[in-house]
Amino acid sequence: MRSDQIKQGFERAPHRSLFYASGLTPEELNRPIIGIANAYNEIVPGHVHLDKIAEAVKAGVRLAGGTPLEFNVIGVCDGIAMGHVGMHYSLPSRELVADSVESMALGHAFDGLVFIPNCDKIVPGMLMAAGRLNLPAIFVSGGPMLAGRYAGENIDLKTMFEAVGRHQAGRMTEDKLHDLEFAACPGCGSCAGLFTANTMNCLTEALGMGLPGNGTIPAVTGARLRLAKLAGMQSLRLVAEGICPRDIMTPSAFENAIATDMAIGGSTNTVLHLPAIAHDTGVDLPLDLFDAISDRTPYLVKLSPAGPHHMQDLDEGGGIPAVLGELLSQGLIDGEARTVTGQSVAENVGEARRRTDVIRTSDDPYSPNGGIAILRGNLAPDGAVIKAGAVAAEMLHHKGPARVFDGEESALAAILNDEIRPGDVVVIRFEGPRGGPGMREMLMPTSVLAGMGLDHSVALMTDGRFSGATRGAALGHVSPEAASGGPIALVEEGDRIEIDIHNRRLTLHVGNAELARRQARWVPPEPRIQTGYLRRYAAHVTSASEGAILK
C-alpha cells in the first residue's frame, strides 16, 4: 500500500505516534487509508449538507475495510459572488482547489481518495487534482437542489436573477420579488437547473468517475446517502485493483462527456473545465472537438434555463444512464470506456428506463445538433462559446450595432438605465481570464435583459463567461481576450456585429485596413488588480480557448 511509507517499519514510529495522537488504533492504521476530500462549508447552499454526505462515505469506507481520514477544501458560491469583486475569485478558485488536494494527498500518502464536491469550480478543480495525482479515486457529489415552488409553478435561482429585470422594468411588484426570494431555493443542493454545477456533476458520471446517479439524485434524499456509502465502499475496490483516474479518463471518456454535454445542453463553462481537466490528465482536448461532436450529437434534454424541467425531472426520467443509453444506441459514444464501477459504460447503462417527455429519442430531438456551439470569425479567431439550445429562434441570426463597455458594471448600469435598445449587441470586454482578472460570469446583465423582455432582441458578447443559468443570445469566451489585444479590444461604439449561430460565425463588419489602424494605436491597459493571488493568477493564466489553465 502507498500509505506504508508513513506507517511501516521502526523508522516510522514518529509518524505512527502522530496518528495515535489523532485517536487512531493500530488496527485502523493497518488498513488502507482513504482520504476524503470534502468541500463542506456553511456558506454555499450546495455544500451545507456535505458533512452528512461525508459521514455516509466514511461509513462505506469502514464497511469495506478501510480507514477514512477527512480533510476540507474551499468552495466559492458563484451565486453569492455574482456582480461584485467576489466573482473575480470564482474561476481562479478552481486552481486553489486542485493545488490544495494535491498538497494534502501527496503530503499524507493516502492509498485512495473519495472526492465530495458539488458546485461550480469545486467539481472541475477536484477532477483536475484526480487526473494530476492518478491515485485510485471516486467522486460523489452532494446532489442537486429541488426546484422551488411559487403559485403552482417550479422556480429556481434563475427566476430570481430575471426577477430583478422584471422589477426594474415595472413588470413585477416589490412584494412579489420579496415572496420569490423565500421560495426560489428551498433547501440544500446545487441549484436546481442544468447550470454549471449540475452539468459538471453529470459529466463526472459520463467521464466514468462517479457512480450512476451522481449527477441527478436529489440532495435531500436517502438515495443520495446510499450512493455516498456505495462510493466509500467502491474506493477500496479501486485501491485493491489499482484502478486509477488515467485508466478511466481516457480520450474516449472525454469524448463521451462532451457528447453527453451536447445532448443535455449543459453550461458553456464546460468548454473551460473539460480542457483543463484533460490537461492535468495528459489528454489533448482541442476546442474544435467540441464543435465536431456537437455537429453529430442530437439535443435531447431541455432543462432550466433552456426548458421547463429541472434536475429532479431528469433523475426521474432515467438520469445520465438513460442519456448515455440513447447515445450508445446511435453509436455516438464509446460503450467500452471504463468507469469507477469496474464495469464499462455499456454495462452500467443496461436497460435504463426513460421518460421521453424529459429525455427525447434521437429520432425526435429538440435539434439534430448539440446544445452548445463554438463560433469563429474575425471577432473571435480562437473561438467563442454559446449555449445555442437556450437561444430564441429569432436570435439564431442577428446583426446589430455594438454597444461597448469596458467591464460588467458599466454595462449593467446602462441596461438598468434603459440605454439598451432592441437590435443592439452589448459588448463587455476586459473581463477575460487575464483582463478581469478571473473571467467573471455575466449572469446579472443577461438575466436583467431577459427580465426586461429584451432577450429576444438584444445579443450580448464578452471575453468573460456566463453562468450556466444564462439564456438568450449570450456569447462568451471570445478569444483572444481584450487584455491580450484580441479583436474584441478594437470594437468601437456603433460597429456592426453579425452573429450567425447556424453557420458558426461571429463577424465584425469593419474593414481590415481600419482594424489595422486601430490595432496600431491600441495600448494595453494596466492590470485592474495588482496585489495578492489575482495578480499572480493574471500573470500565468492562459486563454479561455485553452481552458484558462495556469502555465
Cα–Cα distance between 269 and 399 in angstroms, integer?
Answer: 25
Region for residue 356 given its phi and psi (left: phi exceeds 0; alpha: psi -120 to 50; beta: otherwise): alpha
Look up residue 270 and give its three cell numbers: 464546460
Q: In 3D, which of 295, 305, 445 has the Cα closest to residue 367? A: 295
Cα–Cα distance between 217 and 433 in angstroms, integer?
Answer: 33
Backbone angles phi, psi at 213, to 5 degrees: 100, -10
- Element at 232 (helix H, strand E): helix 222-241
Look up residue 143 and give its three cell numbers: 446532489
Alpha helix segments (H runs only) across 366-430: 408-416
Cα 254–chain centre separation: 15
Catalytic position from the list 190, 235, 447, 467: 467
Looking at residue 415, its amino acid is I
Cα–Cα distance between 297 and 285 in angstroms, integer?
Answer: 17
Contact 420, 458 (CB under 8 A): yes
Largest separation between any pair of C-alpha atoms in the chain? 76
Contact 183, 148 (CB under 8 A): yes
- Element at 496 (helix H, strand E): strand 496-500
Cβ count within 10 A of residue 442: 27
Cα–Cα distance between 550 and 537 in angstroms, integer?
Answer: 7
CA-derived radius of gyration, the chain: 23
Cα–Cα distance between 101 and 129 in angstroms, integer?
Answer: 6
Contact 221, 315 (CB under 8 A): no
Contact 58, 232 (CB under 8 A): yes
Q: In 3D, which of 136, 128, 114 has the Cα closest to residue 282? A: 128
Cα–Cα distance between 284 and 448 in angstroms, integer?
Answer: 37
Supply angle C-alpha 251, 255, 259, rounded to 5: 170
Query: What strand order describes the sheet that includes 137-139?
Result: 67-72, 33-38, 112-116, 137-139
Look up residue 263 and give its three cell numbers: 445532448
Q: In 3D, which of 361, 360, 391 has the Cα closest to residue 375? A: 391
Angle between helices 157-168 and 443-451 (to 10 degrees): 60
22 is catalytic: no
Cα–Cα distance between 457 and 186 in angstroms, integer?
Answer: 33
Contact 482, 518 (CB under 8 A): no
Catalytic center residues: 467
